[in-house]
Amino acid sequence: MKCPRCHREYGGTGNFCSYCGEVNPSTRDDSGGEVPGAPRAPEPLDTDKLRRERALYIGVAVIPYLAGLAVVFSFRSIIAINLFGLVLLFIIYATVRATRKLQLSGKETAIAVVLVFLVYIASFFYMLRKFSEVEARLKGEPFDEAKSRLKTTLVAGAGVALGVGLAALLFLALNGKEETTVVRWDSNTRNDQGQKTLSNSKKLWTTGRLDAFHGTDSRHIWVVGEKGFVAFYDGSNWINQGGLGGEWFNSVYAVDDDDVWVAGQDGTILHYDGRSWGRKVTQIYKNLRGVSAADKNHVWAVGDDGTILFYNGSTWSPQQSGTLNGLHGVAAVDANHVWAVGTGGTVLFYDGTSWTPQPAEVTGDLLCITALDASHIWAAGTEGTIYFYDGSSWKGQEHLDTWFNGIFATDPTHVWAVGSFGKMMFFDGTRWEARDCGTTITMYGLFGSDSKHVRACGDAGTVIRYDGKSWKIEKQ
């Protein structure tokens, strides 16, 4: 028996055609009217409305799934596919930014992204199922709910796998793993001298920029840089201690072997206690450019817009700098003698109570500072001038046509300054003179445990080492 409306074989087992909803002729009386008590037929299909619904489900469900596949197979084509793919990326970006504000680690950020993406996947599959139902009704085909659920489950598996894959890619990006590797610090393993050793699976390096060095001696040195890169030198090898987040780390200071501070992008402050790295909450989201300490209970970090943070042994809190100029470096001699330098020739001094400007006829921006004691302090910056503080006033010692990004003194007769295109200067206690550092790479950070063990770091993962006689490239 065929349905009088759609002319298909009547497939209904009740009072209506299962394809178009037409009333079963057997339920009509002789006059063509409906048999009393028989269920009424559904309203005629509004095909225009169904087509609009179908378009909606395509836009909300099908297209973003294709956009997700595009991320996997050809990231550059995602914009060409549709705008919804950008919405998905914006959701992930917003999640990352939110986790950055909460100062979560790279791993925690990846977990948050997975959760957000799975929520998105759940809504997607609901839309996909609704789309399938509407499509079947438009075509006048029976809708097999059980089969639809099976298909949805299969696609859901692919979608979840896609979400996990995207989260994994994001995690690698956040932690800068393109050229680095994870190394674990085994605090229970010790060498013959009873000192802690490192266990690592690989010893790959970074091709990114390295910004700062610091350590406690020639066998305990840390270097930091872009994409959350942190590496440790144990006297024999450089070993990556990565996996600390994707922020740019600008400065590092080691108070002791088990008390190391890192400051960086978006107010990031990390602390190493000899066993593991941990994040410290500051509620400050300015970029931090420098960190220094007088002891375990007196640590300072400085950064953009005159930001100064102080650690008293338990918590970080802001201190009033009295300036909105960016601060690029800080050097603490003791709890009552701390200097900070920055843009516009800014020089600030902390006397244990408050920060005050210190008179200095400085031109340009000061980017770095090093202090041996209250009467031996050097600072340098963009105008190529190296300034010296003798305990009473600041004076220019040397002027060159270059930028100085880093400066470090091991004693009053051994001071180094590094800058653009491999430019290096050395002070022997009497005068500054140029030194060949063996590279034309721009250098940023300096540290020396003594006059015969000095290192500098810079662009392209470059580390150079001075052995008391000459400079040589150690890592690149």
- Write down the pLDDT at residue 81: 41
**Could you tell me what percent of the chain has a pLDDT over 70?**
57
Q: Are 291 and 298 in contact (CB under 8 A)?
A: no
Lowest mean pLDDT, pick from 62-71, 126-135, 311-320: 62-71
DSSP codes joined into one string, 42-108? PPPP-HHHHHHHHHHHIIIIIHHHHHHHHHHH-GGGHHHH-THHHHHHHHHHHHHHHHHHTT--HHH
- Write down the pLDDT at residue 282: 84
More confident residue, 461 or 113: 461
Q: 3-class DSSP state for residue 134? A: helix
Q: Cα-flanking dihedrals φ and ψ of residue 118, to 5°? A: -65, -35
Pairing of strands 210-217, 196-200: unpaired
Q: Are 383 and 344 in contact (CB under 8 A)?
A: no
Q: Tens digits of per-residue pLDDT, 328-384? A: 999 999 999 999 999 999 999 999 999 999 988 888 899 999 999 999 999 999 888
Per-residue tokens: 320: 């009033």
CATH number of 183-475: 2.130.10.10
Reply yes or no on whether the pLDDT at 127 is more than 80. no
Q: Tens digits of per-residue pLDDT, 287-315? A: 999 999 999 999 999 999 999 999 999 99
Instruction: Using alpha carbons, list the distances in angstroms from residue 41 to 23, 49, 78, 473.
Output: 6, 19, 46, 85
**Claim: this prediction has a pTM higher than 0.75:** no
**Residue range 224-234: average pLDDT?**
90
Residues of the chain with CATH 2.130.10.10: 183-475
Instruction: Find all residues with CB under 8 Å of 76, minimum gap 6, and list them.
Output: none
Q: Tens digits of per-residue pLDDT, 152-199? A: 565 556 556 555 655 554 555 444 433 322 233 333 333 333 333 333
Closest among 9, 334, 405 to 416, alpha carbons compared: 405
